[in-house]
């Protein structure tokens, strides 16, 4: 499959790439113009795991800790941290100079409810919440987190950008009910959201936060000094990828967050453009069934979905190529086992039909959500539609924009009354490396896990054993057992691995290689 837009605009792009046009890029070196991968619809950093919302969160909010380029947790808003001798009490003191965009000082009255709210929504945060006895203020600048038992992943968890962002918000926003989205856009981060210049579906604007005090350390991954070197950042949505490529080639924009393989071939011909993957762990497609409603509340129906998948077909349709990967934990990483995946490595439509019958499926309409405004989402929706038909499913493909899918996938209602049976998405391999940070494998039965809400007590028991393992041998043994169980319970179906490439003009210096977009440290020359 190929984008019609790509074919339609190929000649225009080729011509634009041959004309050295630097007028727009040189017009104002203090404005960074970026094409995001999607339109921003949800601004509540705790409420969703959508990558575009995480991108927004990194602009506006700050965090207690942040992952460096080696995924080590480094202090960000924290100035001093100590751990008691019994390893149960963490004491944190905020660093000086922290203030929200409205000028109010950041205090523990903001920090504590922010962390508590985030821990109810995020997969890794939920694990930390289970082990937390209390979080208490000592004074406006110092607070303690007391554990029920020693847990070595506290700082790593507080630095996580694998699910929803542990953003520190003003107290009023942080006290919003965890499963209700708020519209607060005031943070204490390096950029301010300019609400007055929002053009829905087209433009989002951020201004440099002149009052922000960055850390003194050099930028390293998401850690270190978040030094802003431009006055303004403009996100301009361009749903047709060919138009975005033409704009980058002509110097009308400075950066495209995500391109596909068709665009890569064109942009590599332009000596003024850099093409590179910002996250080296790759990205992954996944098909997520809703575990709350028939037929996919039955494991055999979910196994049937896995039986219909040809990962190469999906990666070719969405990105023009990719790799097969049958690990739930990032192929190539230390946890990248494929144990238990053997029955699913080749499509078996007849076996899938049999499993559906055993699950009690009898021709009911299946609601599949698709996002027509994003090419790769549209592509996988079309492939899934055809595959569902091949295994005898009566499919109802309901297309909307990605922002609407983000909202609807949190709806637990009957699929025919605002809910759904299946949605599909893509996730970063950094978050997928561990049973802690892979939000899609959490199978707790309290209904507070990630959209789709799988419930499997055995898988969750093994996940907890992995997190508490004290030796590498025990960890690996538990990982193998967990992975085999996941291929039985099927919390989601892996669709393959691909390289998510960004592209930017070479007059940008300081682009950080991170799993979430970071636009500080960038200078236009």
Sheet holding 89-94, edge to edge: 78-83, 89-94, 142-147, 132-137
User: What does pTM read for this prediction?
Assistant: 0.88
Inter-residue contact 236 to 37 (CB < 8 Å):
no
What does the pLDDT average to over 76-82?
98
pLDDT band at 280 (very low <50, low <70, confident <90, very high): confident
Inter-residue contact 382 to 376 (CB < 8 Å):
no
Q: Looking at the DSSP assignment, which residues form a beta bridge with residue 423? A: 288
Q: What is the pLDDT of residue 260?
A: 80
Q: What is the pLDDT of residue 239?
A: 86
- Segments of 177-229 assigned E as strands: 191-193, 203-208
Q: What is the pLDDT of residue 261?
A: 77
Task: Reduce the secondary structure of 66-77 to three states and give it as a string.
Answer: EECCCCCEEECC
- For residue range 223-263, list pLDDT tens digits in order: 999 999 999 999 999 988 889 999 999 999 999 999 987 78
Q: What is the pLDDT of residue 14?
A: 38
Whether residue 81 is predicted with pLDDT greater than 90 in this model: the reply is yes
Alpha-carbon dihedral of residues 289, 294, 295, 298, nearest 10 degrees? 80
Whether residue 343 is predicted with pLDDT greater than 50 in this model: the reply is yes
Q: What is the pLDDT of residue 20?
A: 38
Q: What is the pLDDT of residue 17?
A: 37
CA atoms within 13 A on the CB side of 96: 1
- For residue range 498-514, list pLDDT tens digits in order: 999 999 999 999 999 99
Whether residue 22 is predicted with pLDDT greater than 80 in this model: the reply is no
Q: What is the pLDDT of residue 2?
A: 30
What does the pLDDT average to over 98-112?
98
Question: How big is the chain by its Cα radius of gyration, in Å?
Answer: 23
| Full DSSP string of 131-154 | TEEEEEESSSSEEEEEESS--TTH
Q: What is the pLDDT of residue 21?
A: 39
- For residue range 409-421, list pLDDT tens digits in order: 999 999 999 999 9
Instruction: Name the least confident of 7-21, 110-124, 138-152.
Output: 7-21
- For residue range 297-311, list pLDDT tens digits in order: 999 999 999 999 999
Q: How far apart are CA 371 and CA 201, in angstroms?
A: 14
Q: Which residues contact 45 (CB under 8 A, 6 or more apart)?
A: 53, 54, 56, 57, 61, 164, 165, 167, 169
Q: What is the pLDDT of residue 16?
A: 36
> Over the range 289-321, which residues count as b (16 or more CB within 10 Å of their CB) and which as e?
bbbbbebbbbbbbbbbbbbbbbbebbbbbbbbe
Q: How far apart are CA 461 and CA 482, in angstroms?
A: 9
Whether residue 4 is predicted with pLDDT greater than 80 in this model: the reply is no
Of 247, 271, 250, the closest CA to residue 259 belongs to 247
Q: What is the pLDDT of residue 88?
A: 98
Q: What is the pLDDT of residue 320?
A: 87
- 14 or 269: which leads in pLDDT: 269
Whether residue 347 is predicted with pLDDT greater than 90 in this model: the reply is yes
> Over the range 341-372, which residues count as b (16 or more CB within 10 Å of their CB) and which as e?
beebeebbeebbbebbeebebeeeebbbbbbb
What does the pLDDT average to over 266-293?
95
Percent residues over pLDDT 70 in the chain = 95
What does the pLDDT average to over 394-421?
96
- For residue range 464-504, list pLDDT tens digits in order: 999 989 899 999 999 999 999 999 999 999 999 999 999 99
Q: Tell me the domains of the chain and their CATH numbers.
A: 4-38+194-280+501-524 (3.40.190.10), 51-185 (3.90.76.10), 283-498 (3.10.105.10)
């Amino acid at each position: 499959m190929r984008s019609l837009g790509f074919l339609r605009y190929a000649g225009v792009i080729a011509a634009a790439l041959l004309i050295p046009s630097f007028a727009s890029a040189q017009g104002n070196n203090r404005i960074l113009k970026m094409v995001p991968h999607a339109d921003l619809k949800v601004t509540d950093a705790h409420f969703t795991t959508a990558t575009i919302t995480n991108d927004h969160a990194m602009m506006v909010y700050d965090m207690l800790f942040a992952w460096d380029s080696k995924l080590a947790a480094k202090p960000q808003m924290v100035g001093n941290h100590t751990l008691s001798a019994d390893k149960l009490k963490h004491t944190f003191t905020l660093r000086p100079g922290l203030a929200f965009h409205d000028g109010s000082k950041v205090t523990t009255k903001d920090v504590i409810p922010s962390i508590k709210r985030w821990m109810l929504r995020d997969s890794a945060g939920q694990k930390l919440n289970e082990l937390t006895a209390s979080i208490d203020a000592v004074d406006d600048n110092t607070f303690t987190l007391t554990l029920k038992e020693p847990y070595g992943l506290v700082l790593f968890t507080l630095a996580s950008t694998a699910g929803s962002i542990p953003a520190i918000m003003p107290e009023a926003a942080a006290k919003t009910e965890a499963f209700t989205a708020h519209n607060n856009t005031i943070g204490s981060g390096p950029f301010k959201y300019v609400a007055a210049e929002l053009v829905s579906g087209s433009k989002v604007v951020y201004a440099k936060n002149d009052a922000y005090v960055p850390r003194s350390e050099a930028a390293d991954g998401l850690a270190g000094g978040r030094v802003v070197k431009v006055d303004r950042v403009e996100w301009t949505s361009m749903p047709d990828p060919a138009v975005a490529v033409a704009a980058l080639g002509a110097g009308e924009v400075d950066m495209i967050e995500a391109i596909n393989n068709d665009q890569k071939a064109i942009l590599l011909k332009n000596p003024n453009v850099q093409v590179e993957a910002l996250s080296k762990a790759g990205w992954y497609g996944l098909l997520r069934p809703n575990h709350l409603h028939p037929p996919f509340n039955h494991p055999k129906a979910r196994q049937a979905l896995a039986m219909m998948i040809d990962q190469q077909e999906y990666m070719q349709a969405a990105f023009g190529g990719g790799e097969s990967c049958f690990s739930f934990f990032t192929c190539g990483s230390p946890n990248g086992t494929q144990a238990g995946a053997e029955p699913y490595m080749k499509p078996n439509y007849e076996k899938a039909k049999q499993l559906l019958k055993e699950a009690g499926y009898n021709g009911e309409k299946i609601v599949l959500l698709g996002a027509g405004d994003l090419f790769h989402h549209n592509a996988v929706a079309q492939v899934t539609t055809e595959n569902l038909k091949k295994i005898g499913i009566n499919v109802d493909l309901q297309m909307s924009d990605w922002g609407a899918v983000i909202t609807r996938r949190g709806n637990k209602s009957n699929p025919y009354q605002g809910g759904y049976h299946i949605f599909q998405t893509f996730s970063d391999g950094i978050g997928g490396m561990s049973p802690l940070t892979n939000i899609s494998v959490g199978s707790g039965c309290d209904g507070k896990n990630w959209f789709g809400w799988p419930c499997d007590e055995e898988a969750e028991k093994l996940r907890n054993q992995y997190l508490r393992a004290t030796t590498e041998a025990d960890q690996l043994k538990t990982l193998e057992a967990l992975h085999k169980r996941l291929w039985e319970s099927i919390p989601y179906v892996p669709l393959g691995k691909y390289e998510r490439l960004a592209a930017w003009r070479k007059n940008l210096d300081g682009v950080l290689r991170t799993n979430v977009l970071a636009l500080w440290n960038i200078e236009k020359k």
